[in-house]
Amino acid sequence: MLKSSFGLIIFIVLITGCVEENESQNWQESSIFTSEIATMIGEEGRIGVRYDDTEFGRFYANEEAFKRMWHLWGDEDELNEKLKVIGTHESGGDPITLVSGIVIGSPNNGADGHTISSLLFPQSGMWKLDAYTGESLFGTIFVRVHD
């Protein structure tokens, strides 16, 4: 019995390590989609932030992206909370708060709610943006930040 328990523990440790390694290796930029007239990056029908893959629409390291409009699709309870966005760089390190305590406003561009924020990324590369409404994870967006 002790051998089988030890074997199970080793198996779980190996699987957990593989899952964590795969998560960091599979970071791919989220889909770009259009809702009404707005081009966004994110999860279509759930969460998106205004974006276009041009010199003027991309995110750049150490350059503040002013007036980025967030669009959220969800129920009234979710959208009555404040938006908070935590960013994690692909290389690891401590996550940073990119957006905090912003009220989600009225419908816009086909979404159930929207709000505007600025974003400032301290380094280039892939970033995972975990968006929360209140204490609940609302959605995740992966973006590439350019030099």
Q: 40-96: per-residue pLDDT in tens?
A: 999 999 999 999 999 989 999 999 999 999 999 999 999 999 999 999 999 999 999
Task: Tally the domains of the chain.
Answer: 1
pLDDT of 3 reads: 55
Instruction: Please check whether residue 60 is in contact with residue 146, taking contact to mean a CB–CB distance below 8 angstroms.
Output: yes
Strand partners, 38: 35
Residues in contact with 121: Cβ distance below 8 Å, sequence separation at least 6, in sequence order: 59, 60, 61, 62, 87, 98, 127, 145
CA distance 142 to 63: 18
83 falls within a domain = yes
pLDDT of 11 reads: 42
pLDDT of 1 reads: 54
25 falls within a domain = no
96 falls within a domain = yes
116 falls within a domain = yes
Report which residue type is found at 51.
Y
CA distance 144 to 90: 10
24 falls within a domain = no
> Tokens representing 7?
């074997």
Residues spanned by the domain of 90:
30-146
**DSSP 8-state secondary structure symbol assigned to residue 111:** B
**Structure confidence by residue, pLDDT tens digits, 5-24:** 444 344 443 444 444 444 45
93 falls within a domain = yes
59 falls within a domain = yes
CA distances from 94 to 67, 86, 145 (A): 25, 10, 17
Quick count: other Cβ atoms within 10 Å of Cβ 104? 21
CATH code of 43's domain = 2.60.40.3830
Q: What is the pTM of this model?
A: 0.83
105 falls within a domain = yes
Tokens 């957990």 belong to 16
